[in-house]
Structure 1
Amino acid sequence: MPFSLTRRGFLAGSAGFLALHPYSVQASSNQAHLRIMETTDLHVHVFPYDYYSDRETDRVGLARTAALINDIRAESTNSLLLDNGDFLQGNPMGDYIAYERGMKEGDTHPVINAMNTLGFDASTLGNHEFNYGLDFLMKSLAGSSFPVVCANVAKSLGASPREDETLLPPYVIVDRTITNGAGTTQPIKIGFIGFVPPQVMNWDRRHLEGNVQARDIIEAAKAYIPQMREEGADLIIALSHSGIGSAEHTEGMENASIPLAAIDGIDAILTGHSHLVFPSSTYADYPGVDVERGTIMSTPAVMGGFWGSHMGLIDLLIEHDGGAWRVVSHTSEARPIYKRNEDRSITALVESVPAVLASVQAEHDDTLAYVRRAVGKTDAPLHSYFALVADDPSVQIVSNAQTWYIQQMMQGTAHEGLPILSAAAPFKAGGRGGPDYYTDVAVGDVAIKNVADLYLYPNTVRAVRINGATVREWLERSAGMFNQIEAGSADAVLLNPDFPSYNFDVIDGVTYEIDLSQPSRYNKKGEVVAPDAHRITNLSFNGQPIDDAQEFIIATNNYRAGGGGSFPGADGSTTVFEGPDTNRDVIVRYIVEQGTVSPKADANWRFAPMEGTTVLFETGPAAAPHATNVEGVTIEEAGNSDTGFALFRITL
């Protein structure tokens, strides 16, 4: 039996369906099987395409998730398709629509068009929906053929949530007919209520301050859930664009899905925001969470990954008893669109649905043209050939962008006014990647796809708060990149081949030297192995020796702030800001806003002099034209290695 992708909330059972879910087969005359499908954190990923690297990928795309939706609808007698927010922003297609094409009255946003094509029943707002401002948001939502709800963002606050003038309807109750186990239909009222992290007021202050206000998620839910029951909702599904965090409610918490699930009256909860999967072992030890049963506080729950990587699925067996519907059994899972093989290669599990691709084909083509043309200029070459031996322009631009972003994010917080430093590491720096594995963007135009060359990973921005003594230790950990060098050595090997380049953090905003005569204070695992060793010397801030007690904000990424690389002061406990934006997006915004960037390295770090000592290091052969322009160090060519790398010499 063919399945239309036009808008539809439920599909009646028939003999034409194959492989029905057990609930559909077993349901009695007063029972029904309801299948709830979730997408979350799509971030405009409709096509299976990585616009930053300008190539197809099997790991993303609503067009791929659509194949799962088609199959799941076929397995059930009744189904709902819901989105959990963060659909308007997050890849270059979103930026193209917002910054280039715009949204005129009557336009339909491409991701909304794709969602309309698939027949979504409802959605809520994610925090990224506010990134382009309220006018853009409201024009984009005007094209949706499904309701979008949000209970905790208001144009004006009343004495209680029920008295708020909310930006969007806080909830919606839809009338449906549901097919029971006997094959007959019965009416049912299903309520959808949505929530977004109240931190949007900080993350998008420039768009929201003075225009809207945000309430605590739990406060809003406790007000509206009973009201929905009063208005006749038989089932209530919470669309929680909020992660699975602490079980203990605190006012204004960002990841509130556990205390939200504990509120009486919610029959199922869809979560998101964290770009993770539930049920999964990730949440095995969280209080109130049962991974085996797929529940949070005994409420059926799911989180369907991000960018279309998974489709969340909750199956409910509901029963009509005493004039009301109730959930009698449930299962939960997240179905992926790809699998990772033992050799780390990717195998697609589904193919794209043509109708969904067709719905955004024009905008996809326009986005390709957008990422391939200049969005800004650089007046210095952006290369990483010498990123491991000197201050480097490809690391400098990342630091500049992170500092620019965190300066904005700290405004109005308890950390405003603290000095902001920025930690960034080179990603493409040869090594196992080979002699061509380097960033190399010439002076002149910078296209969006060049940003993938500057920043390989989809990390998000974080800020940590540490003191000057910890800044020193952070740099000591980073200095494990280098072998110990004996004074007077000739052409000693400089770089430690076992030290990954992504752990070589350069901290911008301070100046310092690295004394290579000292052993590394830390080993590869981040353990102190030479407690008397101190490679970092002359560490200064604003031209003065750093005050060990002075507190600093360090702009970095989620990997480092959460403990990646085992850096002192970066274990998750010092994090004071968790940005919703990827480092890549921040770099793009920075380039667009600056117009022309000047990322010339400022030589804020160098090796301490060692008289009569030279060292050798490998880099790409294409480095030669840049060797004489490296600040703070004297570099000369020294031949070639037998692995295709070029050898260069530094006189210390």
Structure 2
Amino acid sequence: MKLRLASALAVVLVASAAVPAAAAPQDHELDLTLLATTDLHGNVASWDYFNDRPYSDRAGDSIGLASVASVVDDVRAQEGEDSVVVVDNGDAIQGTPLSYYYAVQEPVEQTGAVHPMAAAYDAIGYDAQVVGNHEFNYGLDTLDAYEGALDFPLLGANVLDVTTDEPALTPYTIVTKHVKGNKPVRVGILGLTTPGSAIWDKGNVEGRLEFEDMVESAKTWVPRVKAAGADVVVVLSHAGVGTSSYDESIAPAENPSDVIARTVPGIDVMVVGHTHQDRPSQIVTNEVTGEDVLLTQPYRWGSTVSRVDIDLTKVKGKWDVTSTEASAIRTKDYPQSQEILDLVADQHATTVDYVNQVVAQSTEELSAVTSRYEDTPIIDFIQKVQTDTVDAALEGTEYADLPVLSIAAPFSRTAVFPAGDVSVKDIAGLYVYDNTLHAVTMTGAQVKDYLEFSNRYFATVPAGTAFDPAVHTGANGTPDYNLDIIAGVNYTVDVAQPVGSRIGELTLADGTPLADDAEVVVAVNNYRRSGGGGFPHIAAAPLVYDEQKEIRQLLIDWAQAKGTIDPADFWQPSWELTVAGTPIG
């Protein structure tokens, strides 16, 4: 049986314990080191573009590929370059103003410039990367330009071209390492990505790409990787462990990494991602072979690099993996590579200049800190822009006389518009996603169902008990961005009532009751309209507006046109939390 050594940080996912280190074979002849990152999300420098300063957090972590580069250089110096394989597990080109700027403001597919993330990965010398779900956010042209700039393969065995039913990306690659004094060892690297992109980026992929069940794809491709001569099989799985992390509506499963390890024989190491967890070592026993499979998940944004040490012995002239051991290298303990910083210096400076542009003056400070449990002007700023945009677009259509409602969520607890100058970075800090604006028609009954679903975000608070935001929000792990607030309709949320029975009577802004059969237009972002989050009715609702306008840019344009951000222009308190009818405030 192959031996899998788990670090002290390991979480054992099977009933049986890993074989103790003392049982390891002592005659191994070759050592390989796998270095892995995941979910870099546009971070090259350890820089906070929203606050215009070096990145910092409570853990003291560093982020970005510049720090990762120093880790890779150090391990290569220790172990020898011929003994080190470097991989990335996806979600590379979305997440910071840097990656946004070169996808939207100066798109690399139009300018011919090298994407800053591609430039940094290439300079470090990665061997392979799997496509993540966020690689599809900006459309396939941007993804093609990014892929074309890479010096290594971008993998995706379960991403299928609908016209051919064949992989649209390279399914796997074989990396051959010539360790001095040893027979070459061949590392097969297979790439799989979460099928959620079919929903989350429906507008970009529908009719062009399909996403096969990751487990079924692994069953097809792992044997092919072995047949191609791989001595070591590594699966890059841009998915987590468990059925769902963000979105219960995903089918096939969003996060089947553990299922793949348990049911598909022949895998030595899996790199896990997508869920932004810091889990350097986990063990799953394969049901077919009885052998343990090592799973490693580096922490997001380049805060850690997973190091997997792989021991091999020769069996009948062929290499066989006899043990693996994983640990996390924290990049905060390494300096940023000046080579990487210099490589993207101009693009970084351009981005800094962009986010610091002043677009308007705010008459007062507007904060999002309490937006998850009370109506706030800063969320109504989003609602106002979405409502006005859709309302104007529907003039002269059959929907012109329908009330327009708007959906927004509290994406960030730290977002704030300061009194005085409001910059691009302030607005980007409020609306952190690259969503576009859609609008659909719904009935009053559907709107109420939608709100009941949204407000499962709150834990039940017994009558007579004080509401505590620290305790009673985010029930069952529901993230803030899955608390949808609807403007244009007045309602109360009684958190003393059970989920599904919390919303009081709905009335329109003029006080008119919203009848169950009444038709309204609802402005909503493309992620939610495509089915993200599994909210009722919205994905099947008739689409009446989609001009591919990015919501963040609409907010910036509105602020620039007005010159002043004044709550008097948009704040219309419309919802309130209560406990048994008593407002929480």
Whether these two folds match at TM > 0.5 is yes
- Relative to 1, partners in 2 of residues 1:48 and 1:188: Cα closer, same or farther, differing over 3 Å? same
Which AA in structure 1 matches 2:32? L
- Give a deviation string over 1:118-167, Cα, whole Å, max 9, x none: 11111111111122222222222222222222111232465xx7xx1x22
The answer (yes or no) to whether the contact 2:306–2:327 under 8 Å persists in 1 is yes
Other-structure match for 1:207 = 204
SS at match of 1:243: coil
Return the alpha-carbon distance in structure 2 between the equivalents of residues 209 and 479 of structure 1.
Answer: 37
TM-score (norm 1): 0.61
- 1:129 maps to a residue whose letter is E
SS of 1:186's equivalent? coil
CA distance in 1, matches of 2:114, 2:264: 36
Structure 2 residue 105 is matched with structure 1 residue 100: yes
Are 1:454 and 2:430 matched, yes or no?
yes
Q: Which residue among 40, 43, 46 is the counterpart of 1:42?
A: 40
Output the CA distance in 1 between the equivalents of 2:446 and 2:211: 30
Q: Is the 8 A contact 2:434 2:552 kept in 1?
A: no
Distance apart, 1:607 and its partner CA: 8.6
When Rg is computed on C-alpha atoms for both structures, the one with the higher figure is 1
How far off is 1:421 after superposition? Answer: 6.5
- Aligned partners of 1:85 and 1:125 also within 8 Å: yes
Q: Match of 2:187, SS?
A: strand
Equivalent residues of 1:236, 1:266 under 8 A apart: yes
Which residue among 303, 311, 334 is the counterpart of 1:309?
303
1:79-478 to 2 correspondence within 5 Å? 79-103=84-108, 104=110, 107-156=113-162, 158=164, 164=166, 166-179=167-180, 184-246=181-243, 252-261=252-261, 262-279=263-280, 289=284, 298-337=292-331, 348-373=332-357, 383-384=366-367, 392-399=376-383, 422=407, 424=409, 439-440=417-418, 447-451=423-427, 454=430, 468=448, 471=451
Matched to 2:232, the amino acid is L
1:199/1:157 CA distance change after superposition, 3 Å: farther
Provide closer, same or farther for how the CA distance between residues 597 and 499 of structure 1 changes in structure 2, counting only shifts above 3 A. farther
Cα gap change, 1:71/1:577 in structure 2, threshold over 3 Å: closer, same or farther?
farther
Partner-residue secondary structure (3-state), 2:103: helix
Letter in 1 for 2:69: A
1:603 corresponds, among 537, 553, 572, to: 572
Q: Is the 8 A contact 2:362 2:419 kept in 1?
A: no
Which has the bigger relative contact order, CA under 8 A and spacing at least 6?
A: 2
**Cα distance in 2, alignment partners of residues 228 and 313 from structure 1:** 22
The 5 A counterparts of 1:560-599 are: 588=552, 590-591=554-555
Pair 1:253–1:381, CA change in 2 (3 A): same
How far has the Cα of 1:399 moved from its partner?
A: 4.7
Aligned equivalent of 1:62: 65
- Tell me what 2:12 maps to: none
Query: 1:202-232, CA deviations, whole angstroms, 9 ceiling, x for partnerless residues?
Result: 2222222233332222222222221222222
- The residue type equivalent to 1:50 in the other structure is D
Change (3 A) 1:269 1:479: closer
Q: Given residue 69 of structure 1, which amino acid in structure 2 is its aligned partner? A: V
Instruction: Report the alpha carbon displacement of residue 324 of structure 1 after superposing the two structures with TM.
Output: 2.1
Partner secondary structure for residue 201 of structure 1: helix
Q: How far did residue 276 of structure 1 move?
A: 1.0
Aligned-pair CA distance for 1:298:
2.3
What corresponds to 2:485 in structure 1? 507
- Name the aligned partner's letter for residue 324 of structure 1: K
Residue 510 (structure 2) pairs with residue 544 (structure 1) = no
Q: In the comparison of the two structures, how many residue pairs are matched?
A: 483
Q: CA deviation at 1:35?
A: 0.8
1:265-321 deviations in Å (ceiling 9; x for gaps): 2221111111112237xx8xxxx758xxxxx98211111111111111211111121
Deviation at 1:400, TM superposition (A): 6.2
Opposite residue 54 of structure 1, the aligned amino acid is D
The one of 72, 76, 87 equivalent to 1:73 is: 76
| Cα offsets for 1:366-422 (capped at 9, x unmatched) | 111111126x779998835998899543111345689999xxxxxxxxxxxxx9864
Q: Matches of 1:439 and 1:210 in 2, distance apart?
A: 40
**Secondary structure at the counterpart of residue 98 of structure 2:** helix
Distance 1:373 1:88, change over 3 A: same
8 Å CA contact retained: 1:476, 1:521: no
Give CA-to-partner distance per residue, 1:456-495, whole Å, 9 cap, x none. x99999xxx99848947987998999xx9xxxxxxxxxxx
Higher helix share: 2
In structure 1, C-alpha distance between the alignment counterparts of 2:535 and 2:457, rounded to whole Å: 17
* Residues 157 and 213, structure 1, Cα contact 8 Å, conserved in 2: no
Q: Tell me if the contact between 1:125 and 1:241 (Cα under 8 Å) persists in the aligned partners.
A: yes
One-letter amino acid of the structure 2 residue matched with residue 258 of structure 1: D
On the 8 A contact 2:101/2:351 being kept in 1, the answer is yes
Shift of 1:363: 0.8
Alignment partners' CA distance in 1, 2:448 and 2:572 = 20
The separation in 2 between residues aligned to 1:427 and 1:190, in whole angstroms, is 41
Q: Which amino acid aligns with 1:327?
A: V
Q: Distance in 1 between matches of 2:85 and 2:454?
A: 50
| Cα 1:601–1:314 shift into 2, 3 Å | same
Q: Structure 1: which amino acid aligns with 2:142?
A: F
Partner of 2:16: none
Cα separation, 2, equivalents of 1:573 and 1:131: 19
Change beyond 3 A, Cα 1:303–1:499: closer
TM-score w.r.t. length of structure 2: 0.67
Matches within 5 A, 1:622-637: none
Please give the alpha-carbon distance, in whole angstroms, between the structure 1 residues aligned to 2:274 and 2:202.
19
Q: Percent identity?
A: 27
Residues 475, 313 of structure 1: alpha-carbon distance in 2 compared, 3 angstrom cutoff: closer
CA RMSD across the alignment: 5.1
Q: Is the 8 A contact 1:243 1:272 kept in 2?
A: yes
The Cα shift of 1:502 comes to: 11
Mapped contact 1:64–1:308 kept (Cα < 8 A)? yes
